[in-house]
Amino acid sequence: MDESWRFDLDRWLGPFVGALRHKSRVRMCPAYVAGLIGAGDRKSIQPMAARDGEVGYDQLHHFIAGGVWDAAPLEEALLAEADRMVGGVNAWLIVDDTALPKKGEHSVGVAPQYASSLGKTANCQSLVSLTLASREVPVMVGLRLFLPENWTDDPERMARARVPENRQTALTKPEIAIEEIDRVIASGARFGCVLADSGYGSSGPFRQALSERGLDWAVGLSRRQNVYPVEVALIFPVAKSGRRRQYDIPDQPPISAEAALAGEKWRRINWRRGTKGRLGCLFAARRVRVADGHKHRMLDNRMQRMPGDEVWLVGERRATGEQKYHASNLPAHASLKRLAATIKARWVCEQAHQQLKEELGLDHFEGRSWIGLHRHALMTMIAYAFLQSRRLKAAGRKKKNRGTAATAKHAGNQASHSRPLRPTPIQAMSAL
């Protein structure tokens, strides 16, 4: 990347620094974001300050970890920019989480927990992430720390890490995700469908909260999740003795998602073209009612969930032999290809996680406080949005160049079949 990005960054950051309304912070924000984007392997405060040469460590550290300023206006500016770049009815809002490996036990939220990026349980911080994406272009718009029980059960520990009082309540990751989705909706950012893996999709309250908000969704599901056939009926069985049942029950038992699709026809679906050709695997789908309604005691004294709303149950068989299951409230007339393409659109959030860590140092923050971690995460998201804006701008120039060249070639062919006219490199440059 040439150094012209620095001039572009100062101009692009206008809405962000305008929201800070303080001379020192207006200076520190561009310096911090430029430090994340610029050269250097380590993106923690000390090496960034040393490379900058114009701002000191104490100034940058105070801006991120100690200064009194509200991040909400910058979060709103980020959502507005993300919506401008990729928002729309065809955009996805992708819910996931990402782990930041940590040593010790004093950094806020750190605990032994499953880290998907490592594929195992490790000492780490876990952040719930929200990504707005379209045309395979992701823009990260939310990163919120999950606090395990050994933190929320220890008020003194949370106080030392400066966890705000309104964040000290124990929340599950799906509950955090719904809070973040509400923030995105309130901003006016546009998207057509919410995507999430089974860590969120296996939560009935999470799926129900999405539906209550009138949102389309496609989420991962456990293969053990109980479902009912769509034609299930509720009946009042007549007992030979005793009182008549007060509540109706299903006329057939539920089965697992895996069993529900075992007898279905599986078809190969290609959902997009990758660098090595078309990407595809086997899919099957059927309409079901997920067993996530209220609980009733059955005739054999077992507690059983009642049928919920009618949805799509989708199975995926990968070339490795791995099988995944998903649920979606997309319309009943949705094609299998549309279901597959929607489910597989979630992969771009993993690309965003990787780039925020490898290019922008999301996992390099060395402070211990809640406020410092979240401000650092916000700065990495702002830096990533800037890079995505430049990539989109460059892609637009390439598309324009291809269109200009094709038009010139067509015109030349019309004028002379023997010697088609082509723009010289200088002419092509001046066309920009």
Q: What is the residue-averaged pLDDT of the chain?
A: 86
Q: Mean pLDDT across the stretch 84-105?
A: 94
Give the pLDDT of residue 68.
86
Give the pLDDT of residue 420.
33
Give the pLDDT of residue 415.
41
| The token pair that represents 217 in the structure block | 């969704």
Where residue 375 falls among pLDDT bands split at 50, 70, 90?
A: very high
Give the pLDDT of residue 252.
84
Summarised one tens digit per residue, pLDDT across range 414-427 is 443 333 333 332 23
Residue 425 lies in a domain: no
Q: Mean pLDDT across the stretch 164-185?
A: 96
Domain shared by 51 and 69, yes or no: yes
Q: Could you give the residue ranges of the DSSP H alpha helices within 285-421?
A: 336-344, 348-358, 370-415
- Could you give the CA distance from residue 193 to residue 212 in angstroms, rounded to a whole number? 14
Residue 266 lies in a domain: yes
Q: Mean pLDDT across the stretch 183-207?
A: 96
Position with higher pLDDT, 179 vs 319: 179
Domain shared by 177 and 199, yes or no: yes
Residue 256 lies in a domain: yes
Q: Which of 79, 298, 335, 27 is nearest to 187 (CA)?
A: 79
Give the pLDDT of residue 155.
94
Summarised one tens digit per residue, pLDDT across range 364-374 is 999 999 999 99
- Could you give the CA distance from residue 248 to residue 242 in angstroms, rounded to a whole number? 16
Where residue 343 falls among pLDDT bands split at 50, 70, 90?
A: very high
Give the pLDDT of residue 182.
98
Where residue 257 falls among pLDDT bands split at 50, 70, 90?
A: very high
- The contacts of residue 365 (CB under 8 Å, 6+ apart) are 44, 100, 372, 373, 376, 377
Residue 335 lies in a domain: no
Give the pLDDT of residue 430.
30
Pick from 297, 329, 361: which residue ends a domain?
A: 329
- Could you give the CA distance from residue 430 to residue 422 in angstroms, rounded to a whole number? 14
Position with higher pLDDT, 297 vs 320: 320
Where residue 103 falls among pLDDT bands split at 50, 70, 90?
A: confident
Q: Specify the number of domains making up the chain.
A: 2
pLDDT above 80 (res 106):
yes
**What is the Cα 166 distance to its own chain's centre?**
24
pLDDT above 70 (res 406):
no
pTM of the model: 0.87
- Could you give the CA distance from residue 214 to residue 209 in angstroms, rounded to a whole number? 9
Domain shared by 125 and 226, yes or no: no
Give the pLDDT of residue 396.
74
Give the pLDDT of residue 7.
84
Please, what sign has the CA dihedral across residues 217, 223, 229, 233? negative
The amino acid at residue 129 is S
Q: Which domain holds residue 240?
A: 219-329
Give the pLDDT of residue 410.
45
Residue 427 lies in a domain: no
Among residues of the chain, what percentage have pLDDT more than 90?
Answer: 66
Where residue 2 falls among pLDDT bands split at 50, 70, 90?
A: low
Domain shared by 64 and 107, yes or no: yes
Domain shared by 19 and 58, yes or no: yes
Give the lowest-confidence range in 122-131, 165-174, 417-426: 417-426
Q: Mean pLDDT across the stretch 180-187?
A: 98
Residue 343 lies in a domain: no
Residue 44 lies in a domain: yes
Domain shared by 208 and 225, yes or no: no
Contact (CB, 8 A) for 27 and 34: no
**What is the Cα 97 distance to its own chain's centre?**
8
216 φ, ψ to 5°? Answer: -80, 145
Max mean pLDDT among 1-5, 20-24, 117-121, 202-206 falls in 202-206
Contact (CB, 8 A) for 328 and 346: no
Give the pLDDT of residue 303.
66
Give the pLDDT of residue 89.
95
Give the pLDDT of residue 293.
72
Q: Mean pLDDT across the stretch 45-54?
A: 89
Domain shared by 174 and 233, yes or no: no
Summarised one tens digit per residue, pLDDT across range 299-323 is 555 667 778 889 999 999 998 889 9
State how beta strands 234-235 and 249-250 pair. Answer: antiparallel
Give the pLDDT of residue 251.
77
Give the pLDDT of residue 400.
61
pLDDT above 50 (res 431):
no
Domain shared by 17 and 136, yes or no: yes
